C-alpha cells in the first residue's frame, strides 16, 4: 500500500498533535493521514458552520459537528492506518465558570500538557498569537518539536516556522527580529478582513486554494522532521510565503527560507 510513498513507512509509528483545525490545520491533518502518520490528535473546540465550507475539506454532511470529531471520523473511515482522535482540553479561551473545570483536574491545562508531552511533533495552526506564545513555550520546556503556520490578512502571504530541539532561537526571538526588520515579515492585505453575517468575530477573507499553500508546507516540514532522513525537511527555520505583491496584484506563490538566530534580548542574551 505504501509503495507509492516510501517515506510513509517511517511515519507509521509517529504521533502528531494538531492544534487548530480551521482552514489550515484541517487540510494539514488530512494530508498527514494520507502521508501515513500513525496517530493524529486534534485539538479545537469549534464546530463546522456552513460558512466554513468554502475553505474546509468536508462539506454539508458535517455542518454542526465539532471540527475535530468530523476530521477524526473521516480519517477513521478512509485512512485506517492512522489513529485519529479528539484531544481533550481547550485553548485560546478563558475558563471563567468553575463548573466548567473538570473535577479531576488540578490544572485545566493538564490534558493539553499530556498531549504535548506524548507528541513527536506539535503543529500549531491556531492562528492565535497568544496560543503560539504559550505552545511554543511549553514545547520548548517539554522538548517537543514545534511547527507553526498561519496566513496573513487577505492571504497576501503566510509563514511556516519551526522551533526544534536543537534550535537556539525561540518564537519570541522571531518576534524581536521582525520588530527590528532583520527578517522580512509576510505581506498583509489590510482590506482582507470581514465580519460574516451572523458571526460575532472578524475573520479574514481568502480562499482555501490559497490557504492550502501553507497547509502543504506544514506537512512537508512535519514529514521531513519525522522521517529520520527519508525525506528532507529543509534547512531553514522560517519560510515566508508571498501571494500578492506590494500593489495587491496576484503573484505566483513565492516561498523564501530564513534562519532565525537567537535574539540578543531573548535566547541570545546569556551568550
Residues that bind Zn ion (CB under 5 A): 170, 172-173, 266-267
Residue 77: strand, helix, or coil: helix
Residue 114: strand, helix, or coil: helix
Element (H, E) at 159: strand 157-163
Nearer to Zn ion by C-beta: 72 or 170?
170
Nearer to Zn ion by C-beta: 109 or 172?
172
DSSP state of 182: S
Nearer to Zn ion by C-beta: 170 or 225?
170
DSSP string, 19-67: E--STTHHHHHHHHHHTT-SEEEEE---B--GGGGGGSSS-GGGTTSBH
Nearer to Zn ion by C-beta: 170 or 241?
170
CB of 170 vs Zn ion, minimal distance in Å: 3
CB of 269 vs Zn ion, minimal distance in Å: 8
Nearer to Zn ion by C-beta: 59 or 264?
264
CB of 138 vs Zn ion, minimal distance in Å: 14
Q: Alpha-carbon distance 209 to 11, whole Å?
A: 27
CB of 148 vs Zn ion, minimal distance in Å: 14
Q: Alpha-carbon distance 180 to 175, whole Å?
A: 9
CB of 265 vs Zn ion, minimal distance in Å: 8
Q: Which of 175, 173, 194, 172 is nearest to 185 (CA)?
A: 175
DSSP state of 1: -
Q: Where are the alpha helices (DSSP H) in the chain?
A: 25-34, 67-78, 110-118, 129-142, 171-179, 208-226
Nearer to Zn ion by C-beta: 202 or 264?
264
Nearer to Zn ion by C-beta: 44 or 237?
237
Residue 175: what are its φ and ψ, rounded to 5°? Answer: -60, -40
CB of 137 vs Zn ion, minimal distance in Å: 10
C-alpha cell at 79: 485512512
C-alpha cell at 253: 506563490
CB of 183 vs Zn ion, minimal distance in Å: 13
Amino acid at each position: 500500500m505504501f509503495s507509492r510513498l516510501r517515506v510513509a513507512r517511517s511515519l507509521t509509528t509517529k504521533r502528531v498533535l494538531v492544534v487548530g483545525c480551521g482552514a489550515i490545520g484541517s487540510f494539514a491533518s488530512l494530508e498527514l493521514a494520507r502521508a501515513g502518520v500513525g496517530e493524529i490528535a486534534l485539538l479545537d473546540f469549534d464546530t463546522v458552520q456552513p460558512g466554513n465550507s468554502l475553505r474546509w475539506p468536508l462539506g454539508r454532511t458535517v455542518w454542526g459537528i465539532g471540527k475535530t470529531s468530523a476530521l477524526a471520523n473521516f480519517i477513521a473511515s478512509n485512512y485506517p492506518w492512522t489513529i485519529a482522535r479528539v484531544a481533550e482540553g481547550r485553548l485560546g479561551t478563558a475558563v471563567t465558570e468553575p463548573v466548567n473545570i473538570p473535577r479531576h483536574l488540578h490544572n485545566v491545562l493538564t490534558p493539553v500538557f499530556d498531549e504535548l508531552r506524548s507528541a513527536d511533533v506539535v503543529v500549531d495552526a491556531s492562528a492565535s498569537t497568544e496560543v503560539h506564545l504559550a505552545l511554543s513555550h511549553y514545547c520548548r520546556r517539554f522538548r517537543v518539536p514545534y511547527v507553526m503556520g498561519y496566513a496573513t490578512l487577505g492571504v497576501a502571504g503566510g509563514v511556516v516556522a519551526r522551533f526544534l530541539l536543537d534550535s537556539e532561537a525561540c518564537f519570541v526571538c522571531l518576534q524581536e527580529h521582525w520588530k527590528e526588520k532583520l527578517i522580512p515579515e509576510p505581506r498583509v492585505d489590510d482590506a482582507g478582513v470581514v465580519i460574516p453575517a451572523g458571526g460575532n468575530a472578524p475573520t479574514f477573507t481568502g480562499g482555501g486554494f490559497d490557504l492550502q499553500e501553507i497547509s502543504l508546507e506544514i506537512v512537508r516540514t512535519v514529514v521531513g522532521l519525522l522521517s529520520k532522513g527519508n525525506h528532507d525537511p529543509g534547512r531553514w527555520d522560517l519560510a515566508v510565503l508571498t501571494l500578492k505583491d506590494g500593489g495587491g496584484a496576484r503573484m505566483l506563490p513565492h516561498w523564501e527560507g530564513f534562519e532565525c538566530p537567537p535574539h540578543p534580548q531573548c535566547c541570545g542574551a546569556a551568550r
